[in-house]
C-alpha cells in the first residue's frame, strides 16, 4: 500500500524523553486523549469493528489506570493494546528511535524461537547456550509467567485486521523475543521451565542481542530468493509471489508485469491444467500489481474494490497544493468517497477491471497463511468470493472485506518521541459485506502443524495441493 506524507501529520514533536525519564500522569492521560481524538478524526476504519462508545469507554478506562509517572516504555505498554483494539494491521505505534537503539544495545532478548499453538508454546529453535533444551520441548513458563499469562499480554498488542488471530500467532513465531522485551519486561536473565519427554526441568539462560539469535524467518525476513518464481512440472505450475512491493521486486532485478505476462504465456503454451499460487508470507505491496494478477483469473470484466472512504476531516484537507495531486473526495450521504489521484494510479481499482487477454482456464489452488496481508489479502478475497480458486492453509491476516491503508503518514507523539502510523483510506473489497466480518479469507482446506512437523521443515500446504491435483475428479 502507498505511504505518503502529503497530508498533515497527526502529532507534533517537542521534547523527547529518554528511556529513564518519566512522563507525568497528566501528560500520559493527555496522550491517550489526543490519540483517541486524532484516530476519530483521521482514521476511517477506527469504528470498523468496534463502536464509538466502545472506544470512549476503553480510553476512559485506560486513562484511569494511569496513577503515577511513566517511562516511555511503560507508556508504550499502555498504548500498544489500544492500537490493537482497532483491528487494523496498518495502524502502528513504535517506540522512539532513541529508546529502540538503547534497548538494542543490551542483551535482553529471549534466546529461543517459540512456536505457539493455542495456549501452549514449544521450542522451535534454541539459540541459548543451554543445549539440553531440545527443539520440540514445551515451554511451561518464563520468569514465573505461564504461557497463557504471556499470551494474554502479547496477543492484544499485535495489530491485525478485525479479530484475526493467525497474523498474531505468526508474528509471535517470528518476533517473540522483541515483543516480550517491549511488552512484558526488559531483563538480562531468564528462568525457563521446560517439559520434555514427560520430565519437567528448570533452566537459567542469558538474554541475547539480535545478532546472536537472528536467522531468516526469525527476527529477519524469510530467505525466499527472488520475490517472483514460476516452475512448471508436467501439467502443474507453481507461481510463488512472495511480495507485491515494487521496491522488493526491483531490488532483485525483476519486473512484476513482465514476469506475470511471461509466466502465464508459458502456462498457456504448455497446456497447464493446474496452478498453485503461493501467497504465503506475502505481506502486500502495490495494489496495481495485485489487481493485475487478478485479471488472469477472470474472463469477464470484474470488480476488485467496491469503494474507498476517508473521514470528513481528511476530505476537507484536499485543498490548495493538495489538489495538484488528488481529486476532491465526494460526499455520499454520511460517507466521503476517495477518488482517483491525478498523478498516480494507486487508487484506480474501485473501477470495473478488465480481464487479461488470455486468462488462465485451469484449476487454481491458493496457499495462504497469517502473513498473507494487505494487497495479497485483497487478491485472496476477490478470488475466493468469485469462486476462482481453492484455498489451502491458514486464514489470511488481512481482512476479507478490506483494510485501512493507502496514505499512511508517520507522526511523532509529543512529548515522548514515539511514532504512530494512522492510515487515511478505508478500502472495501468487492465482496459480500455480510461474509467473514472481522476475519480474513477462510481456507477451504485448513492446515496446521505439530511442533515436530514445523521443526522438520514440512510443507503441508504444498503437499495437500499436490495431493488434490492427483486426486481423480468425480
Q: 78-113: per-residue pLDDT in tens?
A: 999 999 999 999 999 999 999 999 999 999 999 999
Pairing of strands 189-196, 274-278: unpaired
Nearest CA among 171, 145, 143 for reference residue 157: 171
Facing residues of 141 across strands?
146, 193
Q: What percent of the chain has pLDDT over 90?
A: 91
142 to 110, 114, 324: CA distances (angstroms): 9, 12, 55
Residue 455 is predicted with a pLDDT of 96
Q: Round to whole Å and give the CA distance between 419 and 3.
A: 15
Residue 414 is predicted with a pLDDT of 86
What pLDDT, in 10s, does the model give residues 185-204? 999 999 999 999 999 999 99
Examine the pLDDT at 4 and tell me if it is beyond 50: no
258 Cβ contact list (under 8 Å, min separation 6)? none
Q: Which three cell numbers stand for residue 128?
A: 541459548
Task: Return the sign of the alpha-carbon dihedral for residues 439, 443, 444, 450.
Answer: negative
Examine the pLDDT at 223 and tell me if it is beyond 70: yes
Nearest CA among 393, 395, 370 for reference residue 381: 395
What pLDDT, in 10s, does the model give residues 51-76? 999 999 999 999 999 999 999 999 99
| Stated length of the chain | 474
1.10.3720.10, 3.90.226.10, 2.70.210.12, 1.20.1440.230: which CATH number matches 228-406+423-470? 3.90.226.10
Examine the pLDDT at 2 and tell me if it is beyond 60: no
- Domain positions in the chain are 104-219, 228-406+423-470
- What are the backbone angles phi and psi of residue 239, rounded to the nearest 5°? -105, 110
CATH of domain 104-219: 2.30.42.10
Task: Return the sign of the alpha-carbon dihedral for residues 87, 89, 91, 94.
Answer: positive
Residue 8 is predicted with a pLDDT of 43
What pLDDT, in 10s, does the model give residues 331-372? 999 999 999 888 888 899 999 999 999 999 999 999 999 999
Residue 346 is predicted with a pLDDT of 86
Examine the pLDDT at 11 and tell me if it is beyond 50: no
Q: Which three cell numbers stand for residue 143?
A: 520468569
The sheet carrying 410-412 orders its strands as 92-94, 419-421, 410-412
Q: What percent of the chain has pLDDT over 70?
A: 96
Residue 19 is predicted with a pLDDT of 59
Side-chain-facing half-sphere of 73: CA atoms under 13 Å: 19
3-state secondary structure the chain: CCCCCCCCCCCCCCCCCCCCCEECHHHHHHHHHHHHHHHHHHCCCCCCCCCHHHHHHHHHHHHHCCCCCEEHHHHHHHHHHHHHHCCCCCCEEECCHHHHHHHHCCCCECCEEEEEECCEEEEEEECCCCCCCCCCCEEEEECCEEHHHHHHHHHHHCCCCCCCCHHHHHHHHHHHHHHHHHHCCCCCEEEEEEEECCEEEEEEEECECHHHHCEECEEECCCCCCCEEEEEECCEEEEEECCECHHHHHHCCCCHHHHHHHHHHHHHHCCCCEEEEECCCCCCECHHHHHHHHHHHCCCCECCEEEEEECHHHHCCCCHHHHHCECCCEEECCEEECCCECCCCCCHHHCCECCCCCCCCCEEEEEECCCCCHHHHHHHHHHHHCCCCEEEECCCCCCCCCCEECCCCEEECCCCCCEEECCCEEEEECCCCCCCCCCCCCCCEECCCCHHHHHCCCCHHHHHHHHHHHCCCC
Examine the pLDDT at 157 and tell me if it is beyond 80: yes
What pLDDT, in 10s, does the model give residues 235-272? 999 999 999 999 999 999 999 999 999 999 999 999 99
Tell me if domain 104-219 and domain 228-406+423-470 are identical in fold. Answer: no
What pLDDT, in 10s, does the model give residues 305-338? 999 999 999 999 999 988 889 999 999 999 999 9
What pLDDT, in 10s, does the model give residues 381-425? 999 999 999 999 999 999 999 999 999 999 999 899 999 999 999
Amino acid at each position: 500500500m502507498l505511504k505518503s506524507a502529503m497530508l498533515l501529520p497527526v502529532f507534533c514533536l517537542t521534547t523527547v524523553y529518554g528511556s529513564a525519564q518519566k512522563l507525568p500522569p497528566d501528560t500520559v492521560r493527555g496522550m491517550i486523549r489526543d490519540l483517541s481524538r486524532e484516530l476519530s478524526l483521521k482514521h476511517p476504519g477506527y469504528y470498523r469493528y468496534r463502536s464509538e462508545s466502545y472506544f470512549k469507554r476503553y480510553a476512559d478506562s485506560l486513562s484511569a489506570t494511569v496513577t503515577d509517572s511513566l517511562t516511555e516504555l511503560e507508556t508504550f505498554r499502555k498504548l500498544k493494546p489500544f492500537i490493537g483494539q482497532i483491528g487494523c494491521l496498518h495502524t502502528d505505534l513504535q517506540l522512539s528511535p532513541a529508546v529502540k537503539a538503547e534497548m538494542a544495545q543490551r542483551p535482553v532478548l529471549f534466546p529461543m524461537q517459540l512456536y505457539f499453538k493455542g495456549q501452549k508454546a514449544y521450542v522451535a529453535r534454541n539459540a541459548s547456550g543451554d543445549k539440553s533444551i531440545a527443539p520440540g520441548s514445551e515451554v511451561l513458563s518464563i520468569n514465573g509467567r505461564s504461557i497463557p499469562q504471556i499470551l494474554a499480554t502479547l496477543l492484544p498488542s499485535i495489530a491485525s485486521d478485525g479479530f484475526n488471530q493467525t497474523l498474531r500467532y505468526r508474528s509471535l513465531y517470528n518476533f517473540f523475543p522483541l515483543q516480550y522485551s517491549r511488552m512484558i519486561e526488559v531483563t538480562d536473565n531468564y528462568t525457563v521451565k521446560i517439559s520434555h519427554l514427560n520430565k519437567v526441568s528448570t533452566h537459567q539462560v542469558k538474554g541475547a542481542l539480535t545478532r546472536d539469535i537472528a536467522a531468516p524467518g526469525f527476527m529477519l525476513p524469510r530467505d525466499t530468493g527472488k520475490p517472483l518464481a514460476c516452475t512448471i512440472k508436467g501439467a502443474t505450475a507453481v507461481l510463488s509471489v512472495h511480495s507485491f512491493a515494487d521496491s522488493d521486486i526491483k531490488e532483485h532485478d525483476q519486473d512484476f508485469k513482465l514476469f506475470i505476462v511471461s509466466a502465464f504465456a508459458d502456462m498457456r503454451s504448455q497446456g497447464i491444467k493446474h496452478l498453485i499460487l503461493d501467497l504465503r508470507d506475502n505481506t502486500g505491496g502495490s495494489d496495481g500489481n495485485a489487481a493485475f494478477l487478478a485479471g488472469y483469473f477472470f474472463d469477464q470484466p470484474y470488480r476488485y474494490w467496491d469503494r474507498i472512504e476517508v473521514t470528513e476531516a481528511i476530505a476537507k484537507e484536499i485543498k490548495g497544493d493538495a489538489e495538484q495531486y488528488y481529486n476532491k473526495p465526494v460526499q455520499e450521504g454520511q460517507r466521503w468517497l476517495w477518488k482517483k489521484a491525478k498523478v498516480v494510479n494507486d487508487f484506480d481499482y474501485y473501477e470495473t477491471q478488465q480481464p487479461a487477454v488470455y486468462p488462465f482456464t485451469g484449476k487454481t489452488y491458493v496457499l495462504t497463511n497469517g502473513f498473507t496481508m494487505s494487497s495479497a489479502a485483497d487478491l485472496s478475497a476477490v478470488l475466493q468470493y468469485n469462486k476462482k480458486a481453492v484455498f489451502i492453509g491458514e486464514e489470511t491476516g488481512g481482512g476479507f472485506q478490506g483494510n485501512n491503508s493507502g496514505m499512511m503518514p508517520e507522526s511523532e507523539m509529543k512529548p515522548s518521541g514515539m511514532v504512530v502510523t494512522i492510515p487515511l483510506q478505508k478500502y472495501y473489497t468487492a465482496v459480500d459485506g455480510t461474509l467473514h466480518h472481522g476475519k480474513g479469507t477462510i481456507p477451504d482446506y485448513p492446515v496446521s502443524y505439530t511442533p515436530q512437523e514445523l521443526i522438520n521443515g514440512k510443507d503441508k500446504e504444498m503437499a495437500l495441493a499436490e495431493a488434490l491435483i492427483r486426486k481423480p475428479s468425480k
